[in-house]
Chain A
Amino acid sequence: MTRDRLRIIFAVGIIAAFVGLIGITYICSSPDPADSERYLARAVEETGASNRVAGIYLNYRLLDTLLEVLVFSVAVLGVRHYLQQSEGMKLPNLSESEVVQTAVNFLAPLALLLCTFFAVFGHISPGGGFAAGVIAASGLLYVAIAHGIQAMNAQLNPVRLALMEKVILLVLLAFVLAPAVAGRIPLTELLPTGTPGKLLSGGSILVYNILIAMKVFVGAWAVIAAFAQHRGEL
């Protein structure tokens, strides 16, 4: 009974803190129209990323992006937590015809290649870590459709994947806080901006894109594997 009450107090506290935070953010930093003009006019020069969109959401608005990544992590955590309460199912491996398998075997490496391209060149051309991770996860999902999800789970250990997801999140947070170790304010640039348009430019954006791509890829796959394992659906 007291434990339940504690939980309720804890939940209410979290919600209150969240609402409070939003309120403070709203009061303290009402959006300044001059900001957006500055972003558009000077983003390339200031961030070093020739893709202005990446420059904005992984530099000026890095905190927003980090919260987005956290929301995704909480979703993955929630799915895994609630599915682990239901017992696992032993189901026959459903695989598709040879036509589908051959097509997927051809397309899956392409998806991985595209994922790498979008993650690595996200600061120069359209793309970015989120899209890259989703592409790789879709590629893997199509392999699962063709060869059967149980066969995929035998190859990729779901427990290890879930662990990997958390480790990537920690590395990402460490990278965000790292400037503090160098005697600067967290969330500021750690790496030099470089020449816009070159592969090694845009400061930390390249690293963020790669980490986010890995995180989204592993997280999306962990959710799908958990659904398949515990509910027998998919």
Chain B
Amino acid sequence: MIARWILLALLPIVAGIALTQTRRLSAIIGMGLFSLLLAAVYLLMHAPDVAITEATIGAALVTAIYVLAIRRTGRLAVVADEAPGLIAREGDSIVGLEYEILEGFARQIGLDLSVHFVPLRRVRWLVAHHEADLGAGGMVPLDSGEGALASTPMHLETGVFAFPAKRRSFNVEPIQEAPDYEGYFSELLEHDKNGTLSTAVSSLDLARVLSLGRIGASLQDLGRIDGQYGYAFLIAKQRTRLQRDYADYLTQLRASGQLADMIERHFS
């Protein structure tokens, strides 16, 4: 009798907890727990058949369906190529300014952040084809206004660099993307050793140039392209709601001074 009253009192509490979770997986687990408690109440009311049905459907089947359903919609899927200082692997974890911004943003909108490292040119393709939500890793949007890609507001100023061979033909064939090179950033050092760096790279951003310079790559021929540039994330044009959410989050981050703190922490 007492057990039944305790369980009945717990039901609205667990329901409240499940309703107030911002993280979707937690909310689903809360709902499963609610069903399990309800099944226990039925059992104590001498209705084992109903209890079994409640437990199998409410706690097992529905939970499983929700878990499967949020695997695509419950994650903020970010694709990136490594950019030292912005988003890069360090042991088993990922660090960097952009990673920290993305982590905060995912938490704000109640999603789990998942980052996949892919070759640089693949980042734009995946975002444009809706296979990923955001493209990160020191992307510098050059305002073309065409295609399926848009960009978020800039979070950090930067510069764009290219080898003179590319710059000479600048008027004929301006650089299309920045940064732009074959494969992964980690492979660029290999290209430097083989002397093929200038053929592999079309353009680079400031963070990558500084990182390559630190590890002794030969960058004497590299020249800075005039203009104002900034880092931002890539996003599909149709994702207007995500664009708005992110723009709001960044404004909030900037207004509270947190963005300046983060930049100072990562780049000083």
**Residues of chain A having any CB pair with chain B under 8 Å:** 51, 53-54, 94, 118, 126-128, 130-131, 134-135, 137-138, 141-142, 144-145, 149, 220, 224, 228, 232-234
Contact A224 B60 (CB under 8 A): no
Question: Taking CB as reference atom, which chain A residue is nearest B131?
Answer: A92
A134-B57, A234-B69 known; A141+B52 contact, CB < 8 A: no
Q: Which residues of B contact A228 (CB under 8 A)?
A: 68
Distance, CA A75 to CA B183, complexed state (A)? 49
Distance, CA A128 to CA B53, complexed state (A)? 9
A126-B48, A138-B64, A141-B61 known; A233+B69 contact, CB < 8 A: yes
Interface residue SS majority, chain B: helix
Contact A94 B71 (CB under 8 A): yes
Looking at the assembled complex, report how far the CB atom of B71 sits from the nearest CB atom of chain A, in whole angstroms.
6
Q: Select A131's contact among B53, B64, B72, beta carbons within 8 Å.
A: B53
Contact B48 A138 (CB under 8 A): no
Q: Which residues of B contact A94 (CB under 8 A)?
A: 71-72
Contact with A along B56-76 (1 / 0, CB 8 A): 110011001101110111000
Contact with A along B28-63 (1 / 0, CB 8 A): 000000000000000000001101110011001100
Looking at the assembled complex, report how far the CB atom of B42 sits from the nearest CB atom of chain A, in whole angstroms.
10
Distance, CA A232 to CA B69, complexed state (A)? 10
Distance, CA A130 to CA B60, complexed state (A)? 14
User: Which of B56, B61, B69 has the most CB atoms of chain A within a 10 A radius of its CB?
Assistant: B56
Q: Which residues of A contact B49 (CB under 8 A)?
A: 51, 53-54, 126-128, 131
Within 8 A of A (CB), among B88-146: none
Q: Which residues of B contact A135 (CB under 8 A)?
A: 56, 60
Interface residue SS majority, chain A: helix
Question: Taking CB as reference atom, which chain B residue is nearest A130?
Answer: B53
Contact A138 B72 (CB under 8 A): no
Contact B71 A131 (CB under 8 A): no
Contact A145 B64 (CB under 8 A): yes
Q: Can you give 16 contacting A-B residue pairs, CB < 8 Å?
A: A53-B49, A94-B71, A94-B72, A126-B52, A131-B49, A131-B52, A131-B56, A134-B57, A134-B61, A135-B56, A138-B64, A144-B68, A145-B71, A233-B73, A234-B65, A234-B71
Looking at the assembled complex, report how far the CB atom of A222 sits from the nearest CB atom of chain B, in whole angstroms.
14
Looking at the assembled complex, report how far the CB atom of A20 sits from the nearest CB atom of chain B, in whole angstroms.
32
Q: Which residues of A contact B67 (CB under 8 A)?
A: 145
Looking at the assembled complex, report how far the CB atom of A43 sits from the nearest CB atom of chain B, in whole angstroms.
14
Contact A134 B56 (CB under 8 A): yes
Distance, CA A130 to CA B52, complexed state (A)? 10
Question: Taking CB as reference atom, which chain A residue is nearest B55?
Answer: A131
Question: Taking CB as reference atom, which chain B residue is nearest A234?
Answer: B68
Contact with A along B188-213 (1 / 0, CB 8 A): 00000000000000000000000000
Distance, CA A135 to CA B65, complexed state (A)? 13
9 further A-B contacts with Cβ under 8 Å, apart from A134-B60, A220-B61, A228-B68, are A51-B49, A54-B49, A130-B53, A134-B61, A138-B60, A141-B61, A149-B68, A224-B65, A234-B65
Question: Taking CB as reference atom, which chain A residue is nearest B61?
Answer: A138
Q: Which residues of B contact A232 (CB under 8 A)?
A: 72
Q: Select B72's contact among A130, A144, A224, A233, beta carbons within 8 Å.
A: A233
Q: Which residues of B contact A149 (CB under 8 A)?
A: 68
Distance, CA A118 to CA B56, complexed state (A)? 12
Distance, CA A234 to CA B65, complexed state (A)? 7
Q: Which residues of A contact B68 (CB under 8 A)?
A: 141, 144-145, 149, 224, 228, 234
Question: Taking CB as reference atom, which chain A residue is nearest B71?
Answer: A94
Q: Which residues of B contact A141 (CB under 8 A)?
A: 61, 64-65, 68
Q: Which residues of A contact B61 (CB under 8 A)?
A: 134, 137-138, 141, 220
